[in-house]
Amino acid sequence: MSRPAIALVTPWYGADITGGAETVCRGLAEHLAHAGHAVEVLTTCAWRFQSDWGKNHHRPGLETLNGVPVRRFRVRPRDGQAFHQVNLRLMRGLGISTADEQQFMQHIIGSDELVAYIGEHRDAYRFVFLPYMFGTSYWGARAAPENSLMMPCLHDEAYAHMAAFRALMPSLRGFLLLSQPERDLMQSLYGIPAERLHLIGAGVDAAAGANPARFREKHRLAGPYIVYVGRRDETKNTPLLLDHFRRMKLEQGGDLKLVLIGPGGMPAAAARPDVIDLGVTDEQTKHDALAGALCLVNPSLNESFSLVLMEAWLAGRPVLVHAGCAVTVGHCRAGHGGLFFANYAEFSGALRWLSEHPTEAAAMGAQGARYVRANFTWERVLAKMLRAVYGEAAG
């Protein structure tokens, strides 16, 4: 008897979408398909995280993207204002009622057609939902819990403490996790037994032919620079990075620049000649930028894996992360690939150390690259995933 196909269920999917969970999902789908495994993506017709979640951007139905069958379903109409009211309270760390939770789940992105499809085809697939907090995952996993695995991309945030997820998680078949701190959090938050928690990590594509000189020439950058890659908003702690950088330049001067890559706006106060905002770039530009940087800075406290750390290491450069993030600090300590700051003084002290110790900085980058190659090759990640999804026989 053939085993059921893997269905990766995610709120949006496409080659033009950035973001950690989105990149992990696309990588899994494409590598599974190219390795000959039966895999499909079930998603909505919404475009991406930054677009209107109530608007159908894509046509519903089946299409093939880079060898992966993608089945799209129309989104459910939603009241964005009602969602925003509750979401704002959650983001501010304020308590919400049961009625608020219902309002949140009703008006976050979701698709009734997708949920109905999952219910009707519950035995045809092993469903893998990611990330956990969207309606596609919440309502979808409820439709077939016995065949559902969650790849939550979890960190300790207000959403994770909602009663809705506390009720849902223990009913699921298993969990695919990206890091040991995420695994610890799953156990402490939801009391999931260890045998259902599978630490698989995420596969990282090696950067082919990164060329820092090409980046410097294109953007007329002669001096040293640090780089931030990712979405720019409070949940990623970007304002803290901009503030620390501004303060350091005010106090110390110098020709260090900050290069920002990724979607999202920037406060007007952050607009300075030494802050270079490139917005969303192609992958090659990102790899070129990483290869030429003094280091990558990731100030986020909310990470479940941090793909960009791995990319910086594969580009041969060290990283600087926030000391309050167990996941990124854990990677830095395990791979000896980067430093961590708990406050402004440590931020400027670490950058000074890296600029004054170029040989050691390069060695840290090389150590990080060894760590990535030892743990996060696609071959290794897929083997772990298939074992978690199908059990012993899958191999």
Partner 1 sequence: MSELAKPLPDLEQIVEIRDPAVNVDDVMAQIRATLAAHGPLMPPDVPPLGAQSDDGALAFHLTQANLTYDQVFVEMNVMRPNVPLLGGWLARLKARAHELAVYYVNQHAGLQVNFNSSLVRVLSLLAARDAEVRALRADLERLRARLDELERRA
Which residue matches tokens 């260090």?
256
Nearest distance from residue 330's CB to partner 1, in Å?
A: 9
Contact residues toward partner 1 (CB under 8 A) are: 92-95, 146, 156-158, 173-174, 180, 194-201, 237, 239-240, 243, 246-247, 250-251, 272, 301-302, 323-325, 332-340, 342-346, 349-350, 353, 360, 363-364, 367, 370-371, 374-375, 380, 383-384, 387-394
User: Which of residues 209 and 395 has its CB atom nearest to partner 1 in the complex?
Assistant: 395
Nearest distance from residue 134's CB to partner 1, in Å?
A: 19
User: Which of residues 38 and 363 has its CB atom nearest to partner 1 in the complex?
Assistant: 363
> What CA–CA distance (Å, rounded) separates 181 from 179?
6
Q: Is 257 helix (H, G, I), strand (E, B) or coil?
A: strand
CB 325 within 8 A of CB 297: no
> What CA–CA distance (Å, rounded) separates 40 from 56?
20
Nearest distance from residue 131's CB to partner 1, in Å?
A: 17
User: Which of residues 158 and 276 has its CB atom nearest to partner 1 in the complex?
Assistant: 158
Nearest distance from residue 62's CB to partner 1, in Å?
A: 29
User: Which of residues 229 and 319 has its CB atom nearest to partner 1 in the complex?
Assistant: 319
Work out the burial of residue 88: count CB atoms within 10 Å of its CB; fewer than 13 is exposed, 13-18 middle, 19 or more buried: exposed
> What CA–CA distance (Å, rounded) separates 225 from 244?
15
User: Which of residues 105 and 200 has its CB atom nearest to partner 1 in the complex?
Assistant: 200
Nearest distance from residue 184's CB to partner 1, in Å?
A: 13
> What CA–CA distance (Å, rounded) separates 97 from 229?
36
User: Which of residues 113 and 157 has its CB atom nearest to partner 1 in the complex?
Assistant: 157
Nearest distance from residue 204's CB to partner 1, in Å?
A: 14
Structure tokens of 152?
């939550």
Structure tokens of 76?
């459910």
Helix count (H) and strand count (E) of the chain?
Answer: 15, 14
